[in-house]
């Protein structure tokens, strides 16, 4: 197959990639229009619940190949205290994680914290569906611990959701990631 963007290695046919991008653009735009009335309400709830910014930006691993990896800033509604990882660095959130705010717990349970990622989709950094992007520090640890972990992103744009998220939920352990990897590679 010919290169898509700057990635020479891909398993996705160019017509399939173009159709998927069109669906992403139309879907993200439609979802943003439909959910736009929620944005000020969510912002107000976050502001009233805890000090700090409404939006949270976090560096994530994007589409990859054996030669290079794209990095991008993923946008979410803030669901944790602003100093959540000051002492620990990058770690997974647990079920009863004390760093998660009251409003944040609701946002995470309903997945409303993910809505700003629709902007990432419009910018081409993410897709509506695909393997979930990971943080660089955690990605490096997982790649050392799990064979073929990095390959899940080769030539694939990360997604807001995917089979792994639907069937497995949030990661809390290395075994959770191992189980999700099957879904990511199937994608």
pLDDT at 91: 56
Confidence label for 84 from pLDDT (cuts 50, 70 and 90): low
Give the pair of three-digit tokens for residue 185: 């590679």
Candidates 49, 58, 53, 52; CA nearest to 104 is: 49
pTM: 0.84
pLDDT at 174: 79
Above pLDDT 90, what percent of the chain? Answer: 48
pLDDT at 24: 97
Q: Answer whether residue 78 shows pLDDT above 70.
A: yes
Q: In the predicted model, what is the mean pLDDT of residues 43-63?
A: 94
């Amino acid at each position: 197959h010919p290169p898509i963007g700057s990635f020479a290695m891909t398993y996705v046919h160019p017509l399939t990639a173009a159709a998927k991008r069109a669906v992403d653009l139309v879907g993200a735009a439609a979802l943003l229009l439909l959910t736009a009335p929620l944005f000020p309400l969510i912002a107000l709830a976050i502001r009233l619940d805890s000090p700090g910014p409404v939006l949270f930006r976090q560096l994530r691993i994007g589409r990859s190949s054996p030669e290079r990896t794209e990095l991008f800033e993923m946008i979410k509604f803030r669901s944790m205290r602003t100093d959540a990882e000051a002492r620990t660095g990058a770690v997974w959130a647990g079920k009863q994680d004390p760093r998660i705010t009251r409003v944040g717990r609701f946002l995470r349970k309903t997945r409303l914290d993910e809505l700003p990622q629709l902007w990432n989709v419009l910018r081409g950094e993410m897709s509506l569906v695909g393997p979930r992007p990971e943080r660089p520090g955690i990605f490096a640890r997982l790649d050392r611990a799990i064979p073929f972990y990095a390959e899940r992103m080769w030539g694939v744009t990360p997604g807001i959701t995917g089979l792994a998220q639907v069937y497995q939920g949030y990661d809390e352990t290395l075994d959770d990631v191992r189980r999700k990897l099957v879904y990511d590679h199937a994608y």
